[in-house]
Structure 1
Amino acid sequence: MQAIVYRRYSSDEQGDGSAQTLDAQLERCQSFAKAQGWTVVEVLTDEAKSAFTGDHLRADADLGRFISRLQDGEFAKGTILIADNLSRLSRRPVDEAMAWVHQVTGKGVEIGLADTREVFKPNPSLGDFLQTAIKFGVSHQASADKSDQTRRSKNTLWALAEQRKGKWVNLAGLLPRWLKRNATCDGWIVDEDMADTIVQIYKWSADGIGVNTIVNMLNARPDLPPFGRQKDYRSGVPAWSRTTVRQYLTSPIVEGDFRPNTGMFKGRVIHDFYPRIVDADTVARARADLKARRKVAGKGAGTGYTNLFAGITKCGLCGQRASLSTSVQKGKPYPYVRCEGSQEGRCTNKGGYAYRAFEATALDTFLDLALDDRFFEATGELGRARVRKAEIEKMLADRRSFKMNLLRSFSGQDAEVATVIAEASEDIARLIDELTEVEAAISVASGKVGNVEHLRRVNDIREAAKSPEDAVRKQARSKLRKALSAIVMSVDVERDEEDERVFTVILRGGMMAVRIDTKGRIKKAVSDAVGQPLYSHLTDDQREVLAPLIQRIEKLAGSGENFPPATGDAG
């Protein structure tokens, strides 16, 4: 006879002992099956699912899926569903629990309990029915009592955690891999090596590297082994996964926040509960890029040559996306951009636009203007100011959210609530003033980086983008792509008035457009409409702002026109 083992633990049982709990249940169930001569053919497991609330019966739980499979006739009559004890199957009220048992046994599947060696069969006698009902009633009442006790205990722990008193760290359930409770449970022990790995993941993301690439880079580094038991689903070898990396990149724990997303404390927060391991500025930049990358279309070519303008490159004729491809000639890659519509016969803009020379000129023209201090690791005065700015912005968001929740929840004239709302408003105003001050400090600190130093840093990134080391090159090119997208609105591939293939780079806001041909030469940027340079429509104040760029374009294009004097280094 075939048997299916079901094991479960609830959210209240989470912690270091959860795995042992599951292992112990499995061992007892298998022992029961062996004694009865049953063959265990499957093991169902629900982790952090409550039988008191019925979470384990929902569609995303193993026991919930078991019921769906049962309704579909997947299990033969006489199959046994084994649980360690009755409470693992249900702690719901008697009527619901008995209805569930009848639903299972009515389909010919029997229910076995390892602790009492009982087996529930279809069509029980009245005595057996009542005896089972009494057991479910006792189990439900015990769970209700336990729930009340747990609620009181957790409220006490929350208060202790806010004051950092007693064994306050026990408020947390499952801990991240880089943290452990100390021996007295009144503080934390940080695994510095693991914490450094998390910091590296955030820095990569802040530089514009996507989750998939981060995973590949981690798995290529034997000095950065995966945490815990995660394995590659194909090879079974321990490996980082996209899910794990994304979870770490969105976890409030790295910022030190305790923010339960389920249970009685959902929506509440304790700041500085955990040790912060990633600074606020890096967290903000990494998450901003993580969010932005979900909206960006386009991907790199298979040979590893990445379009720095991916997602914003389009056909100037039909407006459809233009993508980067790479052909290999005499063993060397030759990247080129093509209109996707032309490849499908929907556009007459046929043929490829050689990419390499265009990219080099685009970097020469725009890069030092695009790469401002946001794209370099900040240290000293500037670093402290940027971190403080990110911290203030986070506190502002929290206080605004707190105030809005109060306003939604309390519409009456409660004097105490009105006082709390007024205090939150004062905090918000104070933080806004502090944010203004720190932004001014950032502006001053940024200005202390001279033109020569800035150009040196820009050149370092360009050289890194050519590195033979894959990780270094990817990181640098991701940073370049991120920087260019900050000032470039779109890149159109099209034919100019001389019928030559050109890339038309349009700056954000449509303030200016620059044409670069496939040999990397800046054209005189003549507009088909007015026969004048594409930036000739700019107002005097706009031309003053863009004077360094205009002078650079004129110099590279060989034009003798005079423009306003540069307000900064023109390169």
Structure 2
Amino acid sequence: MRCAIYARFSSDLQRPTSIDDQVRRCKDFATKQGWTVVEDFIRGDEARSAATVAGRDALNGLMVAAKTKPKPFDCLLVDDTSRLARYLPDVLSMNDVLLYHGVFVYAVAQRLDCREKASRPLLTLHGMMDEQFLVSVAEKVHRGQEGRALNGMNPGGKIFGYRNTPVEDPTRTGKYGRAAISGVKLEPDELEAPIVIRIFTMYADGNSLATISKVLNAEGVKAPQPPRNRQIRAWCPSSIREMLRNERYRGVFVWNRTKKERNPETGRKTSRPRPESDWRRVNVPEWRIVSDELWERVEAQIKRMSERWTATSLGGQARRGRGPRHLFSGFLICGECGSRMTIVSGDGRRSYVKYGCPTHKGRGVCTNGVLIRKDRLEDQLVKGLTGRILQPAMVDYALERFQEQLQERLRQLREQAESAADGVVALQAKRQELKTKVSNVTEAIAAFGHSPSLLSQLAALEAEIAKLDDRLAEMNQPRDFALSIEDLRQFLYGRAAEISELLHDDVEGARQALSKHVERLVLTPRSTPEGPILEVAGNVEIFNGSEDGEGVRISNGGQRRFCSALHTTVYPSGWLNSQPCGLNGTFPVC
């Protein structure tokens, strides 16, 4: 019996040696059973939650390995079922997949062998207990955080304007003989607190969020740590907006406003609002940085801006609907800073809405200040895309590659058809054998009269013969390997022409069609004597398959490659000379 071993611990606060302890226990068990542990398949995930399988590379790697042929191991050993997962659907699903591929799970601590008939109810029971453990831990953590919040301590992380100061409990001993930490309190930071006051004052005096961001970035004022998905550490309007609404700065802690929930599809945690009736307000005077007078001035300014925002739609940004409503929203990337270009100006009318770099607009740390009208950008980009993909030489090249792959596939089908001939002979022999049995049963009925058992046997034989006839008819059906090259050409032209009609569809449908062909388009500003231009570069998956999996896929072969790169230019001032990647006789290499 060949065994793989999986181990896991869930928190950075736990000992990394926990992995070694689990592996040692599994090895000892395997030795007692006379099983062999495959050293290459001893895997462990460190500091990974069992609430989801997402991001657990070691476990996912073992699942992939179990599906290979020949399978590299027969058993997956875990210390207990909670190491595998603490979400019951994940546990049962992984167990079913492994059993289907001939691999069983064995939980050492519970002596649970998933090969046994009674294993599934036991696995379900343990899975429910493991899942409930997560729920109870979450409730206890939330209860502990609430207690700290009500005592005026900080249950969260770092907050700009404050420093975290551990509070020691002299009555208890913690790790390494030091005093135990009973909580963390916030204290105004001498360097960051004045910046908070300045931001509140600037906004109360009528400065916009973008203006404040640009001023702070221009002066090199240290910004809060950026989120993981943002590389530029700079002040931005959204972070300032949150600061202006954070009541901590006036000495009031609003606890329990949000809750963390895990997305079952992605495994990521998201923050969701709680009803206001669940909020808890705690006065913490020692946290105060902003005076009541300044806070009220900021609140009045927020109200004025909110009324103005409601009355006037700014450049399509005040929309009420969800998701992008413009054709190229989400596809355009600034070539200077890598930000996604968005609608940054305009009064909501199509002709005046303009795309630009939000990092330049909101923070002033990107040099790309070129703006281009939405209708002008869409018109030029669509012409560039369709001009690129409808090149006859490109379709001819795609057709050439397709023919090569098609011929190879047809050769494989012919070999399969030839090998199936032996199967036809075997089925015909089986059918003849059944016909002989039918004849014998018929003679018996003729000799001894009708009998329920004989009639039942005769019906079963005839039904089996009918099934064989259907299989033989299917296998003997002639295969049409002929395919019109002109039909293929028309199919490829039809697939390529899909993009050319994008603007004639509704925006949502057009975006879905565009996403099949384009992942991102990078717009880099350039200066010319006639005015600024935006050079566009990106990859176009011209013959990408449809959602149902059908389509044409062109594989690269040798040193030749299928050119799907788009090189074009868009002109903010309106003079149009869009030129896709050239076909200079050396096609397909551009």
* Bucket of the pairwise TM-score, normalised by the shorter protein: 0.3 to 0.5
Provide the TM-score with structure 2 as the length reference.
0.33
Provide the TM-score with structure 1 as the length reference.
0.34
Q: Which has the higher strand share?
A: 2
